[in-house]
């Protein structure tokens, strides 16, 4: 069941975050060629720049002062102060602008930048107790607490660390517990905090009324409830389930972020579906869209 985060939960996230930053920056310092193709049209160096900018953003959101971020990526005058975008689907324009405005591609310099921002962020976390106080997130009108911002940073570091390692041909293990944290403490809260249609493929989900019982192995469980193009994520309750899914956290995270095909995860037993309508398990990924 999804529970309110405690100070201990938040500390667990900070410990995971520090570990992942150390891994990623050590990896960056060991690499030479930032021009290697990585994700989509991005090179390895561009992924590293984006990760550094993600760290800058989270640090600024924590301070509730976006001026350092907007010194790199100019503010859209049409967006309320304190937010970055009006709509989640404007976010791709922001990331593209960020890459265009930052010419740095030296991987050691970028590793140093990430380390510095992470240390600043984590030091601020250690000095405060109001981890559940609301803070403006990137979308206008959407707030999260400090703990969720920590898992936002963990999401960026885990996923892009994977991207960098894969591009460089280096072996890379995503820690299952860290993937489970990202899913339960960042991705689910984002879906819950935004409009129920934001992350839904409307064409695929039109007319569908179904409840998925999604269970993250060694993690938490959620009900993904689709209602004619809308999606809500609820705590488990005694309700009729159409499809049960057992998901390995690492495989599920990679499938969610389109880093791995669901079919390979299914073939390896990392994703399993059963219930009244088990075929709905094959459709879940196609029902959800992400930036």
Query: What CATH number corresponds to the domain at position 211?
Result: 3.30.1050.10
Whether 11 and 153 map to the same domain: the answer is yes
Whether 79 and 157 map to the same domain: the answer is yes
Average pLDDT, integer, range 27-56: 97
Is the pLDDT confidence value at 192 over 90? Answer: yes
Whether 149 and 232 map to the same domain: the answer is no
Last residue of a domain, one of 141, 176, 193: 193
User: Model pTM?
Assistant: 0.95
Average pLDDT, integer, range 32-58: 97
Q: Domain of 127? A: 7-193
State the pLDDT at residue 130. 72
Whether 281 and 138 map to the same domain: the answer is no
Q: What is the CATH number of the domain that holds 93?
A: 1.20.120.450
Last residue of a domain, one of 144, 169, 193: 193
Whether 260 and 180 map to the same domain: the answer is no
| φ, ψ for residue 248, nearest 5 deg | -65, 130
Average pLDDT, integer, range 269-283: 97
Pick from 98, 108, 91, 103: nearest CA to 71: 98
State the pLDDT at residue 8. 84
State the pLDDT at residue 226. 98
Average model confidence (pLDDT) across the chain: 94
State the pLDDT at residue 202. 94
Is residue 36 in some structural domain?
Answer: yes
How far is residue 74 from each of residues 97, 110, 152, 156, measured CA to CA in Å?
9, 20, 22, 21
Is the pLDDT confidence value at 276 over 80? Answer: yes
- Token pair 């405690």 is found at 6
Indicate if the alpha-carbon torsion angle 114, 33, 26, 43 is positive or negative. positive
Whether 111 and 208 map to the same domain: the answer is no
**Percent of the chain scoring above 70 in pLDDT:** 98
Whether 161 and 279 map to the same domain: the answer is no
Sort strands 221-227 and 209-216 into parallel, antiparallel or unpaired. Answer: antiparallel
pLDDT tens-digit profile of 82-111? 999 999 999 999 999 999 999 999 999 999
Is residue 230 in some structural domain?
Answer: yes
Q: Which residues contact 190 (CB under 8 A, 6 or more apart)?
A: 199
Is residue 1 in some structural domain?
Answer: no
State the pLDDT at residue 291. 82
Is the pLDDT confidence value at 4 over 70? Answer: no
Of the listed ranges 122-131, 174-183, 186-195, 199-208, the least confidently predicted one is 122-131
State the pLDDT at residue 3. 44
Whether 185 and 216 map to the same domain: the answer is no
pLDDT tens-digit profile of 211-264? 999 999 999 999 999 999 999 999 999 999 999 999 999 999 999 999 999 999
pLDDT tens-digit profile of 170-181? 999 999 999 999
pLDDT tens-digit profile of 106-138? 999 999 999 999 999 999 888 776 777 888 999
State the pLDDT at residue 81. 86
How far is it, in rounded angstroms, from Cα 4 to Cα 10? 11
């Amino acid at each position: 069941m999804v529970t309110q985060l405690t100070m201990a939960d938040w500390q667990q996230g900070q410990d995971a975050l520090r570990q992942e930053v150390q891994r990623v920056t050590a990896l960056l310092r060991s690499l030479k060629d930032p021009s290697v193709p990585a994700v989509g049209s991005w090179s390895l160096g561009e992924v590293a720049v984006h990760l550094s900018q993600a760290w800058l953003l989270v640090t600024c959101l924590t301070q509730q002062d976006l001026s350092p971020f907007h010194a790199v990526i100019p503010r859209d005058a049409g967006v309320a102060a304190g937010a970055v975008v009006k709509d989640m689907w404007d976010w791709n324009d922001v990331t593209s602008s960020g890459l265009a405005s930052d010419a740095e591609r030296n991987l050691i310099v970028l590793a140093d930048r990430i380390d510095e921002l992470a240390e600043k962020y984590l030091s601020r976390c250690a000095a405060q107790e109001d981890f559940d106080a609301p803070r403006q997130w990137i979308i206008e009108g959407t707030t999260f607490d400090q703990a969720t911002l920590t898992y936002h940073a963990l999401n960026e570091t885990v996923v892009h660390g994977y991207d960098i390692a894969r591009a460089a041909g280096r072996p890379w293990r995503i820690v299952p517990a860290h993937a489970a944290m990202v899913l339960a403490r960042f991705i689910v809260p984002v879906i819950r905090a935004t409009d129920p249609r934001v992350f839904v493929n409307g064409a695929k989900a039109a007319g569908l009324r179904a409840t998925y019982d999604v269970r993250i192995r060694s993690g938490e469980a959620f009900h993904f409830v689709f209602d004619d193009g809308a999606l809500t994520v609820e705590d488990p309750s005694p309700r009729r389930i159409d499809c049960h899914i057992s998901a390995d956290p690492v495989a599920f995270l990679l499938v969610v972020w389109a880093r791995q095909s669901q079919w390979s995860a299914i073939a390896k037993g990392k994703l399993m579906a059963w219930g009244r309508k088990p075929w709905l398990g094959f459709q879940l990924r196609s029902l959800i869209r992400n930036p």
